[in-house]
Amino acid sequence: MTDQLHRLSRKFWQRSLSLAAILGLALPLSQIAVAPAKAAQKGSLIIGIDETASEYWAEYTQGAQDIANSLGAKLIVVTSNYQGSQLLAQLGAIFATGCDQCALATDPSSNAFVKAVVHRSAMAQVPIVTIWNRPENIHPWDTDPKYWVAHTSFDGVMSGYYQAQALCKALGGHGQIAAIEGVPSTPPAYQRIAGLKKALAECPGVTLLDTEVGDWQETKAQNITRTWIARYGSKLNGIFASNDAMARGAVAALREKNLNGKIPVTGSDGSKVALDMVKSGDMLVTVWNDPVLQGAVSIAIAHAAAVGDIDPAKLTHAQRDFYLKQEVVDKSNVDHFLDLKAHAPNYTYAELKADFWKDSAGELPVGANK
């Protein structure tokens, strides 16, 4: 009898613990603001970003939010976590609720998903502007041209070129450098390395010792740089990192040997951390790509097509496939960009509408995405 009681009471405890655990799990759910998405409101703006825990994407979202605020429209953010199939599925879910005069600006997460994402958007009759990723052989004017309004990116070749030029100058035209590449299948990764090689061809005294893939990640770049220091020692005079996160990883590895500031490191993006490091002298240069501007311009153009302010069919190729301007940041002008970072301009749709292409740096050349 007592045995049975014992078992019963144990069972009871187990059940109530289960219940408590479920409640414990469910409570955080209610903490996360759930804003039930009825059918997306008329004129909603949708952006697709790669991840939330990133300064770059937070600023991109900020730019899009500015435009949404100026229009009094709702901004819907979809996160792919670098998974194209997830982006497709989530966009499908949003379009499913019905979308009138919606506009979409998104990174298709990789070249492979561009066509599918554009097609999905066109099926839902939502104008789309893509950023960063576009395969070489498809363009807004030849693939679902009615809805794929434009593609915009930053010129990776120029960025790599600027960085390598700065390295060449800092080394006085003589020395050996090593390069850390981003995720190999993304256009900015191979473009920036191509720019590096272009600049080195013009600077014959500087040679490339080694290239490794750091997948855009700080920790990987740190490990690679540590290995390089051990292998090349004083032969290594400079490090070319394809983005700021990897530059930071490289600087962290140099700092372990008190070499930071002594071996110049370059990066690209213009993140806050990189600007700080340029100011402190740990980094030589970074290239300023303005994500706030990119977010504002890309979603504004998509919205303009959705409400009829522009007609995609009447746009030139240079208006449908363009780079946004970028600038080199070194110690001499870093304060200006730090200030810009702290007080990003508040973009409005009306202001951008005057000339959507004011900050364009020209059409993507043929072969840019090869």
Partner 1 sequence: MKNMSPTTSARISAQQSDRSFALHARRWLQNLGPLGVLIVLLLVFEAARHNFLSAGNLAAIAEASAVPVILTTGLSFVILLGAIDLSMEGVMAASSMTLSLLCANDVNGNHWGIWGIAAAIGVGLAFGLVNGLLNTILRMPSLIVTLGTWFIGLGIASILFPSQVPTVQDHWVLSIASTHIAGLSLIVFVAIMLLVLFHLLLHYTHLGRMIFAVGGAEATLVMTGLPVPLFKLAAFIISGLMAGIAGVLLSARLGDGNANIGDGLLFPAVSACVLGGTLLSGGRGGVLPSAIGAVVLEVLNNGLIQIGAGPYVRNIISGAVILIVVAVSGLHLRRKLRVVK
Partner 2 sequence: MSHVQPATDPLVPAKPGFAERRAALRRGVPLAVLILLVGVSAIIAPGTLSPAALNGFISDAAPLMILVIGSTIPILTGSIDLSVAGIASITGVMLVVLAPIFGPWTCLVVVLLALLFGALQGWLHAWLQIPSFITTLGTLSMLSGLSLLLSNATAQPLPDSDPFINLLGDTSFDIPNTGFATLVLVAVLALVMRYTRIGRDLFALGAGERAALMSGVRNVRLRSFAFAISAGCAALAGLALVSVTQFSSPTLAGNLLLLSIVGVVLGGTAISGGVGGLWAGVIGGLITAWLRVATVLIGVKPTGQYIVFGVMALIAVFLTTDRTKIGIIK
Binding partner of 97, given partner 1, partner 2, none, CB within 5-8 angstroms per partner class: partner 2
In the stretch 149-168, what mask flags binding to partner 1 with x, by CB under 8 A?
--------------------
Binding partner of 14, given partner 2, partner 1, none, CB within 5-8 angstroms per partner class: partner 1
| Whether the Cβ atoms of residue 64 and residue 105 lie closer than 8 Å to each other | yes
Residue 153 corresponds to which tokens in the numbers above? 């990116």
Q: Which residues of 298-330 are buried (b: 16+ CB within 10 A; e: fewer)?
A: bbbbbbbbbeeebebeebeeebbbbbbbbebbb
The residue behind tokens 């809805």 is 147
- Closest to partner 2 by CB, 138 vs 209, is 138
The site for partner 2 (CB under 8 A) is made up of 4, 7-8, 11, 15, 18, 22, 25-26, 28-29, 32-39, 49, 52-53, 77-79, 81-86, 88-90, 92-98, 110-116, 120, 123, 135, 137-138, 184-185, 190
Angle between helices 114-123 and 84-96 (to 10 degrees): 0
The binder of partner 1 chosen from 41, 83, 125, 217 (CB under 8 A): 217
- How far is Cα 221 from Cα 215, in angstroms, rounded to an integer? 8
- Shortest distance (Å) from residue 275 CB to partner 2: 25
Binding partner of 35, given partner 1, partner 2, none, CB within 5-8 angstroms per partner class: partner 2
In the stretch 83-112, what mask flags binding to partner 1 with x, by CB under 8 A?
------------------------------
- Shortest distance (Å) from residue 235 CB to partner 2: 28
Closest CA to 268 of 165, 156, 184: 156
- Shortest distance (Å) from residue 181 CB to partner 1: 9
Our finding on whether 243 is near partner 1 (CB under 8 A) is no
How many residues belong to the site for partner 1 (CB under 8 A)? 40
Closest CA to 195 of 136, 268, 252, 262: 268
Our finding on whether 309 is near partner 1 (CB under 8 A) is no
* Amino acid residing at 236: L
Residue 271 C-alpha from the chain's centroid: 11
Binding partner of 248, given partner 1, partner 2, none, CB within 5-8 angstroms per partner class: partner 1
CB neighbour list of residue 238: distance below 8 Å, 6 or more residues apart: 167, 170, 171, 175, 176, 177, 178, 206, 263, 264, 265, 266, 284
Binding partner of 8, given partner 2, partner 1, none, CB within 5-8 angstroms per partner class: partner 2
Radius of gyration of the chain (CA): 24
Residue 131 corresponds to which tokens in the numbers above? 């950023």
Residue 115 C-alpha from the chain's centroid: 19
Binding partner of 36, given partner 2, partner 1, none, CB within 5-8 angstroms per partner class: partner 2
Our finding on whether 194 is near partner 1 (CB under 8 A) is no
Residue 122 corresponds to which tokens in the numbers above? 């066109």
Our finding on whether 51 is near partner 1 (CB under 8 A) is yes
- Closest to partner 2 by CB, 3 vs 355, is 3
Three-class SS of residue 200? helix
Our finding on whether 176 is near partner 1 (CB under 8 A) is no
Q: What is the dihedral of CA 346, 54, 49, 81, to 10 degrees?
A: -170
The binder of partner 1 chosen from 26, 230, 354, 366 (CB under 8 A): 230
Q: Which residues bind partner 1 (CB under 8 A)?
A: 14, 17-18, 21, 32, 51-55, 58-59, 62, 184, 210, 212-213, 215, 217-220, 222-224, 226-227, 229-231, 233, 248-249, 252, 255-256, 271-273, 276
